[in-house]
Amino acid sequence: MEWNLLADNFSNPALLFFILGLLAVQLKSDLSIPEHSSKFITLYLLFSIGFRGGQELAHSAMDAEMIGTLVAGILASALVPLYTFYLLKRKLGIENAGAIAASYGSVSAVTFITAVAFLETHQIHFGGHMVAVMASMEAPAIVTGMLLISLHREKQAHEIPIVQTVKHAFTNGSVFLILGSLLIGYLTSDAQAEGIKPFTTDLFKGFLAIFLLDMGITSGKKLKSFWKHGWFTVVFAIGIPLINGSLMAFVSDFFMATEGNRLLLSVLAASASYIAVPAAMRLAAPKANPGIYIPMALAVTFPMNIIFGIPWYLYLIHLTM
């Protein structure tokens, strides 16, 4: 393995701030990021990555690789919940299995953003259309998860219509903002984009570091109660993402040539949603326990991907190049 990539990852200030947040919780520090500030930073990161992706997309030609990447992303989002649901159902029940399966089929925008920062640090090129791929992978997993729950329920007194589930997936704040920013970035001229470049680009890594500090604090608080659910969920939250990301790293060689794009698709396949899916499941599967599926995605899978997963998937990609 290219250990220098892993070593570089550990010297990344954004990752170190995440670890600082975890440490703050363990040492019972009163360090915290105000809720409104945290929400603003989240919105900024989604806006920035969407806008810059739209700009890149405007300069990209629609080709076979772009279409293949989009199809692969949507298929992965829809298919991952199908097999993970049945691994989970016997242990955790129908509702929890559906919510977790949807989380691991869907994607984490923050993991994607961290991977983008990793690529930029190592000056590895990637296409702006990857933002559109990420956005397209939110809804299929949510819909698949809800369909699995509906199919396996014996009786459902208040069934949520599938149309409402799909609508909620696309109008979820994070999905809506990144899709809107992508479109605006696509329509904005280069001269107009240059005027806001200090905000969309220059401040990005600083805001990412503060956001990951907040994520570290949040993860640390949830991690303590998560261990009560036993080894099964921990092994799942580490093993399944590694399998999904590793498979995509190899399979992507058949329809993708760009190293950066392959890494981003692998990271998307390996990530798990802790924003869009919980919001959708609160409405559609109220019996699912967020104390299980949110910590799995946020406190285990997320740090595993940014610390170990990203350099590991890149190493696997290099093996096939």
226: amino acid identity, one letter: F
Residue closest to 304 by CA, chosen among 314, 296, 292: 296
Q: At what angle do helices 204-226 and 13-26 cross, to 10 degrees?
A: 30
Provide the phi-psi class of 123: left if phi over 0, else alpha when psi is between -120 and 50, else beta: left
| Token pair for 29 | 């520090």
What is the count of structural domains for the chain? 1
| pLDDT score for 313 | 96
Residue 46 neighbours by CB under 8 Å, 6+ apart: 109, 174, 177, 178, 181
Q: What is the pLDDT at residue 65?
A: 84
- Expressed as residue numbers, the domain containing 173 is 3-25+33-152+160-319
Mean pLDDT of residues grouped by 10 in the chain (321 residues)? 57 79 90 87 82 78 84 94 93 90 91 89 88 82 83 59 64 73 89 88 84 80 69 92 97 92 96 78 73 82 90 93 78
3-class DSSP state of 203: coil
Q: Give Cα separations from 101 to 88, 93, 192, 207, 215 (angstroms).
A: 8, 12, 42, 30, 22
CA dihedral 26, 21, 274, 255 (to 10 degrees): -120
40: domain CATH number is 1.20.1530.20
Model pLDDT, residue 1 = 46
Burial 244-265 (b: 16+ CB within 10 A, else e): bbbebbebbeeebebbbbbbbb
pLDDT recorded at residue 240: 96
* Separation between Cα atoms, residue 313 and residue 244, nearest integer Å: 10
What per-residue confidence (pLDDT) applies to 270?
97
160 DSSP assignment? P
CA dihedral 41, 45, 46, 51 (to 10 degrees): 130
Separation of first and last alpha carbons in the chain: 15
* 186 secondary structure, DSSP code: H
